Amino acid sequence: MKKLSKLLWGIVLIAIGVIIALNIIGILHINYALFFKGWWTLFIIVPFTISLISKGPKTSNLIGLFVGVILLLGTRNIIDFDTAIELIFPGIIIIIGIMLIAKSFTRTSKNDDIDAKINDAQKDGKLDDYTSTFSGQTVNFNGEVLKSCTMNAIFGGIKCDLNGAIIEEDVVIEACAVFGGIDFIVPDGMNLKIKSTSIFGGTSGNKPSTETPDTPTVYVKGTCIFGGISIK
């Protein structure tokens, strides 16, 4: 993927260099400042197009490309510019929805420990649910057996304290923060594996540097959409 990305960027830079050279020797006559109306949108369109080709159709790539194209259409007066600006937000929501639906039909990779564990837990019906919508809550497992679960913070927040939790077997926590946040408090020595997908959001913090051998593992799969997940 990295080689393909470098190849595509190389082609783009060569093309730009050739155009500049032809302009200097008089074969082309291009006013750089007025290359074409809306030329600046290429700084959005080109990088996301290259990323889309080299890395595949990821949500962030599609959103970036959509924003660039819709702005280009607006600046070129193909559609009204004010209308183009107003279309950006609903367009992003639609893309996110489409990608979430597409991912729901995608088979889990057998080589991915976290996805495999989540898939097994869902089949066994083991996932408990904690959801916070337009509110906040604290989930404390002190002295309790930690089981696989889902945590959804939608315009809200969840604080999950794993200190004192009893872990008898591998556990899956599927966390989703949409315009909200989820904070995990993790004790030292806990075996923790994290995988996250972020769209205008992110996962912060590091998993514990030390792990205890021959003990169960907590698998956390996070999805952040205009939200965040932190590991403390």
Over residues 53-75, the pLDDT tens digits come to: 766 677 777 888 898 899 989 98
Residue 107: pLDDT above 50? no
- C-beta of residue 135 within 8 angstroms of C-beta of residue 155: no
Over residues 217-229, the pLDDT tens digits come to: 888 888 777 778 8
Q: What are phi and psi of 95, to 5 degrees?
A: -60, -45
For position 70, what pLDDT does the model report? Answer: 92
- C-beta of residue 131 within 8 angstroms of C-beta of residue 110: no
221 DSSP β-pair partners: 174, 195
For residue 225, give both structure tokens: 């959409």
- C-beta of residue 151 within 8 angstroms of C-beta of residue 227: no
For residue 170, give both structure tokens: 């591998």
Residue 109: pLDDT above 50? no
Q: What is the mean pLDDT of residues 161-183?
A: 85
| Vertex 186 angle, CA 180 and 191, to 5° | 120
Residue 163: pLDDT above 50? yes
pTM for the whole thing? 0.50
State the greatest distance between any 2 C-alpha atoms of the chain, in Å, as a whole number: 79
